[in-house]
Amino acid sequence: MRFESWVPLFALSVLACNTTERPAPNSAGTAPSVVAPASAAASVDSLPTAAGDLKITPINHATLMLEWSGKVVIVDPTPEAKPDKLGRADMILITDIHQDHMSAPSIAALKKDGTVIVVPPAVEEKLGMVNLTVIKNGQSKDLLGINVEAIPMYNMTRGPQPGQLFHDKGRGNGYVLTFANKRVYISGDTECIPEMKALKSIDVAFVCMNVPYTMPPSEAATCVKAFQPKIVYPYHYRGSNLDELTAALADQKSIEVRLRNWYP
């Protein structure tokens, strides 16, 4: 396993969301050893594809930007991601109804004529917008030259109280995006579910981790070992100790772990 070390993060206030997600301390009770680039600007990574480079920009928490073949794809924009600074998107993907993923004002700030907004059915009901592209778990669509496949994301055991889960199966979407010959997985809010373990041929994976709402880094590592992405970005990790992830994947020589600053 390869990973890059960075300087420690500063703490941020938590995004307001339907489940009022709050930071959870790591096992040592200290801040995670994750790091910001030396520059204040967001770091941009580049991945070659058969049809040009795919540029990857971590933005904030669950928000990220993918640029490819002249198209800009933004995932889960929220006010904290400062959407007015990102420019207009050709495609916007929303994973869930919680406010750290779904924000109507942020979508409005990013969309332009022709913007494709991809959502699960539950988000369509909440947003109340027209001209949304609705995809259910297991469905896929070719959009703007990109294949978009909706992957289940859900809790199996964790919830606010007995008999309830933070994320019910079928409500939200993770996504697999295919850019020419490269496949990018975006987990959304999920535990280590069978559908994640069964993924094949993933080049880049964005895998969530924060308890109690999704899963701890050790559980995320279990899933990563199962589906073997070439590159994994931990994201949506507020309050997590990412040293647990890198330690659990230390024997995985074929997997590159990229630690980036999602909380600038």
Q: Is residue 9 part of a domain?
A: no
Confidence of residue 1 (pLDDT cuts 50, 70, 90): low
CATH number at residue 49: 3.60.15.10
How is 32-47 classified by DSSP, letter by letter? ----B-SSSSPP-EEE
Poorest-pLDDT segment among 13-22, 136-145, 158-167, 186-195: 13-22
Retrieve residue 105's tokens: 């004002």
Q: Is residue 34 part of a domain?
A: no
**Does the pLDDT value for residue 61 go beyond 80?**
yes
**Burial of 85: CB neighbours in 10 Å, binned 0-12, 13-18, 19+:** exposed
Closest to 230 in 3D by CA, of 254, 246, 250: 254
Measure the CA–CA gap between 64 and 74, rounded to whole angstroms.
Answer: 6
**Does the pLDDT value for residue 238 go beyond 90?**
yes
pLDDT at 255: 98
Measure the CA–CA gap between 14 and 9, rounded to whole angstroms.
Answer: 14
**Does the pLDDT value for residue 12 go beyond 60?**
no
**Does the pLDDT value for residue 36 go beyond 80?**
no
Q: Is residue 200 part of a domain?
A: yes
- What is the number of domains present in the chain? 1
For 203, the domain range is: 44-257
pLDDT at 28: 32
Q: Is residue 226 part of a domain?
A: yes
Confidence of residue 158 (pLDDT cuts 50, 70, 90): very high
**Does the pLDDT value for residue 209 go beyond 60?**
yes
**Does the pLDDT value for residue 256 go beyond 90?**
yes
Retrieve residue 235's tokens: 């994201």
Give pLDDT tens digits for 177-198. 999 999 999 999 999 999 999 9
Looking at residues 45-59, what average pLDDT do you find? Answer: 98
Closest to 121 in 3D by CA, of 96, 99, 100, 149: 96
Q: Is residue 69 part of a domain?
A: yes
Task: Specify the higher pLDDT residue, 36 or 257.
Answer: 257
Angle at 41 (CA atoms; ends 37, 47), nearest 5 degrees: 75
Confidence of residue 42 (pLDDT cuts 50, 70, 90): low
pLDDT at 37: 34
pLDDT at 149: 98
CB 74 within 8 A of CB 86: yes
pTM: 0.85
Q: Is residue 29 part of a domain?
A: no
Give pLDDT tens digits for 71-80. 999 999 999 9
Measure the CA–CA gap between 19 and 34, rounded to whole angstroms.
Answer: 25
pLDDT at 201: 98
Q: Is residue 30 part of a domain?
A: no
Q: Is residue 12 part of a domain?
A: no
Give pLDDT tens digits for 92-147. 999 999 999 999 999 999 999 999 999 999 999 999 899 999 999 999 999 999 99
The average confidence (pLDDT) of the chain is 87
Measure the CA–CA gap between 252 and 245, rounded to whole angstroms.
Answer: 11
